[in-house]
Structure 1
Amino acid sequence: MKFQNKLTLLFFFIGTIGLIFFHAAIFYFVSDFNFEDFFKRLQARARLAAEININPNGKSAVTQEMRNRYLEKMEDEQDFIIKVDTLKRMQFERPINLPENFYKTIVSKGNARYNKDNRFYYGQLFGTKSGNYIVVVAASDPSGFHELETLRKVLLLVFAVAVLLTYIAGRVFSHYSVMPLRNLIRNVQNISANNLHLRLEELKGNDEMAELVLTFNNMLNRLETAFSTQNNFVSNASHELKTPLAIIIAEIQIMLAQQKMAPDTEASARVILSHAEKLGHIITSLLGLAQTGFDGKKQNWQKIRIDELIMTVADSVKKIDPESIIQIDFSSLPADESELYTEGNVNLLQLALSNILGNACKYSNNQPVEIKLRFENRRIVIAITDHGIGIPENEQQHIFEPFFRASNTSDFEGHGIGLPLTLNIIRLHKGTIGIRSEEQIGTEIKIILPVSNEILISS
């Protein structure tokens, strides 16, 4: 999930939680106010009921008339007067089936409240000369209940609209919050090995984005220095190492061409020549390995037809090792010839395929080696299979490491540079390489390359 979406969801989640608490608080306080107001009205009626029904006097009739004329009649209003014989034993009639705790509270605290299913009860204890009385007033509040129901619907509607607006606000907030980061990513993507001199535009202020830009620029300074050092080394090493070595080889060959050398001297010279040539191969491979570490845009790219490249590689391997047996399988070629083309450096790809095919022939003691070309999911697949010594399972993860050689290859010449070089070349061409091997049965290496119109390389 992208950071912008995460930020939007976080904003939406926090905003929604806040809205839930806000609307719940509104509903709670409004309902609490309504209940409190209604109970106060019941309390006033309880006092009037006590004045009218307990110890009636001349004013009772006036009070009753005023109550009937000026006091609003509540829905299903009822008055209950209960004579209390003794407070300690709670011995008195219960004309209404209410929880016992309701009556206990009246006796202990002087008054109590209770409501159930929009039916409200208020009870109060009155002490007179003639004894103690409990007055209970009951009534319904349909208008208040209707008001709360209307408020609940309004709050739900407002909540739904507010949630939608919160999500929209979260999208806007995350968009503008992530915009500097998005611009930074776009600018970083434009920087490659060809233009390491470019730098990100520094931002004003001391926030995290400005610090990130500064960190990237410092990293680019280090990368530019490292790439420049490597480039200078590869350029100079080609001359500084290969030229003296070529002179040594030439001088030894001249010495060997003479007929006046003693046998021991000639044997020593041939050993020197052999090791010098081996050193030359190692230097060439190392330089190739270093050069393939550069960005592919520095190479000479062109369209390459894979089937033709495979035939060229097979011919070159046969010239090096005439006893090799190479079987080429083109039975699965696509109907559209344009799907056989990839883009890259033909010399590098030829070197990569030659390394794999040469290893297959060498480590199989010239048993038949099969090259199969097919097309899968807009990708070119080259499978090279041999029936040789295979690679021990616990060593297969190391075969692409420079100078690594499997434990069962001691009888074969090699330097452990071919496969790492091949891996760099295939990666340079936006491809992948995989291996499947079993000891004493054989090895299969698959190279997968994109079709030419799927590689985007600017000139």
Structure 2
Amino acid sequence: MKIRNKLSILFTILTATILLAFVFVIYATSRQDRESAFYKRLEKEALTKANLFFKAGIDEVTLQNIYRNNQQIINEVEVAIYDTTFHLLYHDAEDIDFVKETSELINQVMQHGIVQFYQNEWQVVGMRYVYENKNYIVTATAFDQYGYKKLDTLLKNSLIIFLVAIAFIYLAGRFLSRKAFEPVKHMTDKAKKISASRLDLRLTSNNSRDEISELANTFNEMLNRLEHSFEAQKNFVSNIAHELRTPLAAIITELELSVNKDRNVAEYKVAIHKALSDSNKLARLSNSLLDLAKASYDPSEIAKKVLRIDELLLDASVLVQRAHPEYKVDIRFAENIDEEETQISVQGNEYLLKVAFVNLIDNGCKFSGNKQCSVSISCNNTDIILQFADQGIGIPESNLKNIFTPFYRGDNRNIADGNGIGLSLTQKIIALHNGTISIATAPHKGTTFTVLLPHL
């Protein structure tokens, strides 16, 4: 069931419940008012007949004639008068005698002064009447035909109005809910047109502050992120294909030349060496891509533990020098560093942090004329400060805005081999550890990468 139908039904049920409660209250109040008013009428009729009988001295036959004449026109009240010994003194219609008075009823009236009760649908009142210091019992009964008819009319009219109102409210609810959900329907129709090839489409927002507009804006923001992600993915795949194609083409070419033409041992060694070099490039690219994928995980999925930064830097420098014996790494500690304290400890992933430090050290050595990278460690109240400095060629200012873009290689791409993944991977790893990385450089004066990582 659609939400608008549910809302219409729920709104109708709620309104019906409220209206039904009003009908019940009005009917119950009217019924109580009718009952009270008729009891008062019986009391007045009983007093009037008693006064006529005792004080005015009208004889019994005249009073009975008045009763019988009135009974043909209206529902006349039937009155009876007893003394305290249960002796009948007067009765409007003893032959009818709708209320069969008993000694128990007389005693109740004497005890309470007045009693009221129903005899079937007839109302009865019994009351004590004092005349010349003597107590008498007067009973009066009648059927309130007019009052009951008014109640029935009220009930029927109320039910008719109730049913008509419910029907009107349901139709109005359907109409209003449809109008209210029209923007949602338009959004649904527009969203159905959005696909991977049409991520440029956006939902229409009326720029108001209602929930529908907020939903449209939130959905559009999500589409912006998805579009950006799709574009980044397309570029990523395209760059991977380009990076893989070059060394693979070189390997295939070398192997085809070796197969198609006989060569001596020395020439075969050269061809094998070139193929091996290109294969190593592929292996490094594959490892970098795997590391980049790991660095793109949800932070909650990355295993972390307490690590000492100095130990990680020493391990990273060993890995770099093992791959490139000619590289030199100089690690220095600031004077305010206590090597045994938590100032140089972080909560992080050992493998990923080593990858980041290896990339920064390798970059510093690779683009420096003396193949050396200097690493300094200091700290403040919240962060460990790492600076990776070299005295190399520097980075042109025009390249700085793209320096952390995957597969981007600047003007220095002809100086050293690389695939453009290292720095973007390093930035992701540092961000994954709630840190930041910045760069300061000048052409032919060197480059310094500054990393801030929160310590324990």
Normalization by structure 1: what TM-score? 0.49
Normalization by structure 2: what TM-score? 0.49
- Structure number, greater radius of gyration: 2
